[in-house]
Amino acid sequence: MDETPPSREAGAGRPLYVEDAGPRTAGSPPIVLLHGWACHGGYFGPQFEALADRFRLIAPDLRGHRFSHRPGDVPNLATLADDLQALLDQLALRAPVLVGWSMGALVAFEFIRRHGCTGVAGLVVIDMTPRVVNDAGWELGLRGGYGPAQAEKAPELMRRDWPLWVETFLQSVFAAGRPHDLALFDWMRREMRGCHPDAMAALWRAITDADYRSIMQSITVPTLIVRGAESQLYGTGTAAWLARAIPAAEIATVAQAGHAPHLEQPAAFNRLLVEFIDGFK
């Protein structure tokens, strides 16, 4: 693994690697980009390329991932949320927009549960649910009826054969029924294989244990729910539920995209993000 030194401190002296680019002026809110499970801040490369001339963009590698991973890491969502608070304090960020993709949205939900949203200007949720696991009273988690039994087995399967897990998971990330961008697919395969299976197993356990349905009413900032029109992981009902549950939420759908619209259709996603921020400044 690359030994690039972390660029910021979070928590009790805990180093995190952070990409930080763009103007520091007060004209536009800073944007904090929170990546998905087994990913890292580099997955927001298209946003840095297109938007860093106008917005300050901050993308940490969350604890346990890429340059922020340390031997023995067993991260959970509470730790990642507290790391985020420490990072915002360390950077003295005022009223950022939190953009959470997949697990990153859960980190944002946990952050709001623990720290409130009075210091946040807005929230963007990219193709995510407040509860991943389905049961008799909830069918808006992972598609295909992903339930408690599957969630219980998953960490051991990850530890047993992480490359196989990555290969299987990646097939569900992109838009259904469309040819993959092979260069992007291969890059994601390489990057995900670099994650430590023990850290990812611990986080998957935390993700599948989490349930944020009860805090949705406390999200009082403008919120954009972005979904890929052809997501294989979450259906239209999941986004609709979030839009009803969060008081100031709206839905935007990215055509010809799956679970990662900011990577599959970056120009369309970037337009939505800019329009959303321009709408509440």
> Is residue 69 in some structural domain?
yes
Query: Could you tell me if residue 197 is inside a domain?
Result: yes
Q: Is residue 178 part of a domain?
A: yes
DSSP alpha helix (H) spans, the chain: 45-51, 77-91, 103-115, 148-160, 162-170, 182-193, 197-209, 236-245, 261-264, 266-280
Q: What is the pLDDT of residues 80-109, one digit of tens each?
A: 999 999 899 888 888 999 999 999 999 999
* Residue 141, domain member (yes or no): yes
2 found inside a domain: no
pLDDT of residue 42: 95
Confidence label for 179 from pLDDT (cuts 50, 70 and 90): low
Contact, 174 vs 258, CB < 8 A? yes
The residue type found at 200 is: M
User: Does residue 3 fall inside a structural domain?
Assistant: no
Number of domains in the chain: 1
Range of the domain at 196: 8-280
Residue type, 269: F
Candidates 63, 70, 153, 164; CA nearest to 110 is: 63
Asked whether residue 1 is domain-assigned, the answer is no
Question: What sign for the dihedral angle of Cα 4, 5, 8, 10?
Answer: positive
Q: What is the CATH number of the domain that holds 184?
A: 3.40.50.1820
- Residue 200 is assigned to a structural domain of this protein: yes
pTM (whole model) above 0.85:
yes
The yes-or-no verdict on residue 1 having pLDDT over 50 is no
Phi, psi of 276 (to 5 degrees): -65, -50
With bands split at pLDDT 50, 70 and 90, how would you rate the model's confidence at 6? Answer: very low
Report the phi/psi class of residue 13: left, alpha or beta, with left for phi > 0 and alpha for psi in -120 to 50.
left
